[in-house]
Chains A and B, each alone.
Chain A
Amino acid sequence: MRDYWLSKLFFDLQTPSAAAEYRAARNAVLARYPLKPEVLAAIENNDVAALAPLVNAYLLRFYFLVIDMPEEEFVKRIRSTGAAGKAFHG
């Protein structure tokens, strides 16, 4: 099941100005979204495995590009989720 506000946050961060603001003042941006505590914690911990089931895979990947997680690190983390059976396949 998708988390609407998490998806909305990731969607909004595609705008370069929003991404820049997020990098500069993450908490201020997060405060504008009514995120559940566990979702907020997953964001704060860069917890790829926890976020993956809650948001579309393309937006997930985009988000970690926005926060400058190296591609190799993201790939390593997403592969280690072992969530292939849970992730959406089109």
Chain B
Amino acid sequence: MANLVGIYAASHGPLIVRKWDALTPACKSAITSAFDELGRRINAVRAEVLIVISPDHWVNFSLDNLPAICVGVGETHDGPPEPWLAAFPHKQMAGHPPLARHIVEHAFGRGFEPGVSYKLALDHGFCIPLWKAGVAPLPAIIPVVLNTVEPPLPGVRRCHEWGAVLSEAIASFAGNTRVAILATGGLSHSIGEATMGAIDEAFDRECLQHFASGEREALFRFLDQRMAAAGNGTAEVRNWLAAHGAAGATGARAFELIHYSAMPEIYVGCGVVSWNKP
């Protein structure tokens, strides 16, 4: 069976790149140190495959077709199309079709019917954490698009369960492939709406406490009650829930906060975390 060797989550605010030169030294330093630590950990586990869970910010999908979950099963994925990410070092990224297809097949047996794509372009949600963390060499990437941008959105329990499905699929994949999971996005932020730029730091800190407590029903209740009011981008915490579900499915892992700070300069409550084996 394949081995789940690491689980992580990190924010992906576009201004981390788009506005980098204009950020204050303190903000740059905090971001750099958080992502350096993330990269150190990801590189240390020597994953051969990295499952990255992120929304698609209107790059691959539109109102023509908007899947709740889509798994990238292609041989390769395109790099980010955003012009301000032109310096991202990978124009193409290798996929891992055998494991991606296995995930999809396993999901269908578990009551999930994700869509599939043989050709995805991976936008900033996927690429900023990989880039800022300095993940190298880049493992094969299995992108998992979780719709957190346009309703209807998957429910919080469903996202958590989806993570468990990912973990089970990894555990039942033949061979001894080393696989890691990186969820991206969050924490609180508000984009293109009346509260634009607002960060709900109280929400973020309470949210992190709920993740750390391991009491999943309390976490679900908290998110059901509070997430909607914390800004539209906060919906990306669903990706963290999937990682959390993966962490709890095959042996308890301890949630560890690597970094959190409210960063008004980049409009994001910026969090970086990992789930560690005992």
The residues of A with any CB-CB pair to B shorter than 8 Å are 2, 4, 7-8, 11, 14, 16, 52, 56-62, 75, 78-79, 81-84, 87-90
Judging by beta carbons under 8 Å apart, are B83 and A90 in contact? no
Judging by beta carbons under 8 Å apart, are B62 and A11 in contact? yes
Contacts of B213-234 to chain A: CB distance below 8 A? 227-234
Judging by beta carbons under 8 Å apart, are A52 and B193 in contact? yes
Which of B59, B81, B149, B195 is close to A84, meaning CB atoms less than 8 Å apart? Answer: B195
Assuming the contacts A16-B83, A75-B196, asked whether A58 and B191 have C-beta atoms less than 8 A apart, the reply is yes
Judging by beta carbons under 8 Å apart, are B194 and A84 in contact? yes
Contacts A/B (CB < 8 Å), 28 sampled = A2-B63, A4-B63, A8-B62, A8-B63, A11-B58, A11-B62, A14-B59, A52-B193, A56-B58, A57-B191, A57-B232, A58-B57, A58-B192, A59-B192, A61-B192, A61-B196, A79-B194, A79-B195, A81-B194, A83-B194, A84-B195, A88-B232, A89-B227, A89-B234, A89-B235, A90-B149, A90-B228, A90-B238
Contacts of B37-88 to chain A: CB distance below 8 A? 57-59, 62-64, 81, 83
Contacts of A90 in B (CB 8 A): 148-149, 151, 153, 227-228, 232-236, 238
Assuming the contacts A4-B63, A52-B193, asked whether A87 and B232 have C-beta atoms less than 8 A apart, the reply is yes
Return A42 CB to nearest CB of chain B, in Å: 15
Range of interface residues on B (Cβ < 8 Å) = 20 to 34
Which of A4, A7, A88, A89 is close to B229, meaning CB atoms less than 8 Å apart? Answer: A89
B197 within 8 A of A: yes
Judging by beta carbons under 8 Å apart, are B232 and A62 in contact? no
**How distant is the Cα of A58 from the Cα of B227 in the complex, in angstroms?**
18
Judging by beta carbons under 8 Å apart, are B194 and A59 in contact? no
B150 within 8 A of A: yes
**How distant is the Cα of A7 from the Cα of B149 in the complex, in angstroms?**
13
Judging by beta carbons under 8 Å apart, are A83 and B193 in contact? yes
Contacts of B228 in A (CB 8 A): 89-90
Which of B58, B83, B236 is close to A59, meaning CB atoms less than 8 Å apart? Answer: B58
Assuming the contacts A14-B81, A75-B197, asked whether A60 and B63 have C-beta atoms less than 8 A apart, the reply is no
Contacts of A52 in B (CB 8 A): 192-194
Assuming the contacts A89-B232, A90-B153, A90-B233, asked whether A58 and B58 have C-beta atoms less than 8 A apart, the reply is yes
